[in-house]
Amino acid sequence: MLSQDRSQTTRLETELLLEAIFQRYGYDFRHYAPASLARRIQIQLRRQKAQHISQLIPVLLHDSKAFDHFLLDMSITVTDMFRNPLFFKELRETIIPRLKTWPYVKIWCAGCATGEEVYSLAILLQEEGFYDRCQIYATDYNKRSLVIAKDGIYPLNKIKNYTANYNNSGPKASFADYYHAKYDSAKMNDNLKKNIVFSPHNLASDSAFGEMNLILCRNVLIYFDKQLQNRVLELFEESLCAGGFLCLGAKESLQFSSMVDKFAPVSQKGNIFRKIYRQQEMDDVC
Ligand SMILES: C[S@@+](CC[C@H](N)C(=O)[O-])C[C@H]1O[C@@H](n2cnc3c(N)ncnc32)[C@H](O)[C@@H]1O
């Protein structure tokens, strides 16, 4: 087969596979970025010892265990405590003082993976003496990751790296204050969890979360194509109250998106944006 025919066939098979999954299970991967999608599908081909993508369709439609593996393979859960420490420093120094002017603050951490990002945020808010006035909603479509996130138990061998990141984020205490080590695990302190609600939410198909003051969605949009990125950014615009803040990952941007005129950059360093509001909208500030 000519290479052009082969790539057209691969594209067609991929579309059929993703459409079948959407129709059968309601999970919508039809607008994930093609390069990342192709790598995930290669993993499935190896796992199922299949030669062609179309052979995956009956397997994934009829075998729920195979579909569970597919879901896990589709979710890239790479994360870290205080990932990109300078972002957390910027959040602490530039955004938290502004958030403190609100009596009560609602935060959405979308695509929270196994929870390291949300515990980092809880630590930061506690150190700023502000955590009791915050409610954090931590969501991901990967339910297995959410179980790990709720437990807040991480391998002890990661603590060295977590501590180094924490130390670079402008901290006010010691990272060791926030966990208890037991055997080869580190369990995050229960008081960090008290204002966090972990819940499933799919950015590709679910609706907005109302009246958020701050949204973190870092290192998630890079896996989506332009159309899905726009959908998600519209969801965030709808979910934020007037003057609310949106934090994206270092490689993500609002440039060329449908929402570029709805936000103003607040920090280039932290990739943080503020929803633009007209003065009269301030009466509605949540
Ligand atoms: C690379 S992790 C980023 C984790 C964390 N935000 C960070 O920056 O360290 C990407 C996460 O996005 C989640 N994700 C991917 N597609 C999603 C979707 N449609 N809805 C919700 N979460 C999604 C994955 O399950 C994964 O946990």
Residue 249 lies in a domain: yes
Residue 198 lies in a domain: yes
How far apart (Å, rounded) are the C-alpha atoms in residues 169 and 171? Answer: 6
Residue 79 lies in a domain: no
Say if residue 21's pLDDT is above 90. yes
Q: pLDDT-derived band of residue 285, with 50, 70 and 90 as boundaries?
A: low
CATH code, 96: 3.40.50.150
Q: What is the pLDDT, as a whole number, of residue 210?
A: 83
Verify that 115 and 27 share a domain, yes or no: no
Question: Which structural domain, as residue segments, surrounds residue 7?
Answer: 3-74
Residue 226 lies in a domain: yes
Say if residue 278's pLDDT is above 80. no
Phi, psi of 202 (to 5 degrees): -105, 115
Yes or no: say if 187 and 155 are a contact pair by the CB < 8 Å rule: no
Looking at the CA of residue 28, tell me the nearest atom of ligand 1. Answer: 19
Pairing of strands 153-155, 185-188: antiparallel
Verify that 65 and 89 share a domain, yes or no: no
Verify that 109 and 41 share a domain, yes or no: no
Ligand 1 pocket test: which of 140, 233, 248 has the largest number of ligand atoms within 8 Å of its C-beta? 140
Yes or no: say if 72 and 43 are a contact pair by the CB < 8 Å rule: no
Q: pLDDT-derived band of residue 281, with 50, 70 and 90 as boundaries?
A: low
Mean pLDDT is lowest, of 101-105, 108-112, 279-283, for 279-283
Phi, psi of 80 (to 5 degrees): -165, 155
Q: What is the pTM of this model?
A: 0.95
Residue 168 lies in a domain: yes
Verify that 159 and 199 share a domain, yes or no: yes
Residue of the nearest CA to atom 10 in ligand 1?
220
Yes or no: say if 111 and 189 are a contact pair by the CB < 8 Å rule: no
> How far is the centre of ligand 1, averaged over its atoms, from the C-alpha of 220 (Å)?
5
- List the structure tokens of 130: 């502000």
Domain count, the chain: 2
Ligand 1 pocket test: which of 32, 141, 216, 232 has the largest number of ligand atoms within 8 Å of its C-beta? 141
Say if residue 29's pLDDT is above 60. yes
Burial readout 223-248 (b: 16 or more C-beta within 10 A, e: otherwise): bbeeebbbbbbebbbebbbbbbbbbb
Ligand 1 pocket test: which of 75, 120, 161 has the largest number of ligand atoms within 8 Å of its C-beta? 75
Verify that 129 and 199 share a domain, yes or no: yes
DSSP, res 255: T
Verify that 59 and 99 share a domain, yes or no: no
How far apart (Å, rounded) are the C-alpha atoms in residues 166 and 226? Answer: 33
DSSP, res 220: S
Out of 74, 100, 126, a domain closes at: 74
Q: What is the pLDDT, as a whole number, of residue 277?
A: 81
Say if residue 2's pLDDT is above 80. no
Yes or no: say if 106 and 286 are a contact pair by the CB < 8 Å rule: yes
Verify that 90 and 219 share a domain, yes or no: yes
Nearest to 75 by CA among 42, 109, 36: 36
Verify that 224 and 92 share a domain, yes or no: yes
Q: Report the percentage of the chain scoring pLDDT > 90.
A: 91
Out of 74, 97, 115, a domain closes at: 74
> How far is the centre of ligand 1, averaged over its atoms, from the C-alpha of 76 (Å)?
7
52 residue type, one letter: H
Which residues line the pocket of ligand 1, CB cutoff 6 A? 75-80, 83, 111-113, 117, 140-142, 145, 202-204, 218-220, 223, 249
Radius of gyration of the chain (CA): 20
Verify that 7 and 91 share a domain, yes or no: no
Residue 264 lies in a domain: yes
Q: What are 203-258's pLDDT values in tens digits?
A: 999 999 889 999 999 999 999 999 999 999 999 999 999 999 999 999 999 988 99
Verify that 37 and 136 share a domain, yes or no: no
Out of 47, 74, 101, a domain closes at: 74
Residue 204 lies in a domain: yes
Q: What are 169-179's pLDDT values in tens digits?
A: 999 999 999 99
How far apart (Å, rounded) are the C-alpha atoms in residues 135 and 212? Answer: 10
Verify that 134 and 178 share a domain, yes or no: yes
Looking at the CA of residue 114, tell me the nearest atom of ligand 1. Answer: 27
Residue 80 lies in a domain: no
Q: Dihedral of CA 27/209/77/15: which sign?
A: positive
Q: What is the mean pLDDT of the segment spanning 72-87?
A: 95
Verify that 67 and 206 share a domain, yes or no: no
> How far is the centre of ligand 1, averaged over its atoms, from the C-alpha of 120 (Å)?
16
Looking at the CA of residue 79, tell me the nearest atom of ligand 1. Answer: 9
